[in-house]
Amino acid sequence: MTVMRLSAIDVVRETRPILERVSLSVASGEVLGIVGPNGAGKSTLLRVMAGLLAPAAGTVELDGRDLRSWNRNGIARRIAYLPQHPECHWAMAAERVVALGRLPHIAPWQRPRAEDRHAIQAAMAATDVTHLARRSAGTLSGGEHARVMLARALAAEPALLLADEPVADLDPYHSIDVMDHLAGLARAGRAVAVVLHDLTLATRYCDRLALLDCGRIVAEGPAEPTLSTENLAGVYRVAALRGRHEGKPYLLPWTRLPERPEPS
């Protein structure tokens, strides 16, 4: 089932177009990877999807309804947004940080109910941070911090999780760990849209990829055709090693190409 559909989205900053006629959808049960070089408009696209940025033109639909007709809290109950480098300003206990993710479900001046506490516990168990509950957020390692922030996003039990570069600061072990969690969420019936720079992880974990370049979607679909040799050369100016392991394709960016090939 389609959770979110974007139609012909334009975003303009000053007079410079950031996104041009971007159409994209994400359905429950799938991981959608948003890839593209620096400055392609990936983070902007994710912010439009989160309702944090109103597009200059085009429509965003959530559950088949125009996002503009949703109220802020309604969106917050359906969509969780995990920014790049998530910050935690005060030295709160990790468990209380995770509990913040539950705010959209708790009415003002109300205390958390049993289901809220269950959701918080389940999110912490899913990302394996239960043992960190009492630790101050400022004392966590990079991997622990990333998992606590992921638990924060999961605590809302969102239909759609938007994650901007969730593995940017992580070592290989924790990168694979986080991606396993995202894939697990999709298997559990959620929709996941994730911005990734790491094309190897994107190829392995995403059911579908949208390749962005200069604010436009250049290609969209399964990983292999989307990250074809031509597209990698045209958009990233790299060539990659390819192979298969246990039936799954892998891709490893390997050499830099001199310049963009002329369009024929």
Where on the chain is the footprint of another protein (CB under 8 A)?
47, 50-52, 72-73, 75-77, 79-83, 86-93, 95-97, 99-101, 103-104, 108, 111-112, 114, 117, 120-121, 133, 136, 152, 156
Choice between 71 and 264, CB closer to another protein:
71
Nearest distance from C-beta of residue 15 to another protein, angstroms = 19
C-beta separation of 29 from 186 below 8 A: yes
C-beta separation of 244 from 238 below 8 A: no
Choice between 54 and 57, CB closer to another protein:
54
Nearest distance from C-beta of residue 216 to another protein, angstroms = 24
Q: Which helix (H) or strand (E) holds 62?
A: strand 57-62
Choice between 163 and 206, CB closer to another protein:
163
Within 10 angstroms of residue 9's Cβ, the number of other Cβ atoms is: 26
Residue 44 sits at φ, ψ, to 5 deg, of -60, -45
C-beta separation of 194 from 166 below 8 A: yes
Cα gap 219→217, rounded to integer Å? 6
Choice between 1 and 52, CB closer to another protein:
52
Nearest distance from C-beta of residue 142 to another protein, angstroms = 17
Cα gap 263→234, rounded to integer Å? 9
Nearest distance from C-beta of residue 53 to another protein, angstroms = 10
**Residue whose tokens read 């892998």:** 250
Nearest distance from C-beta of residue 215 to another protein, angstroms = 20
Cα gap 199→197, rounded to integer Å? 6
Choice between 75 and 202, CB closer to another protein:
75
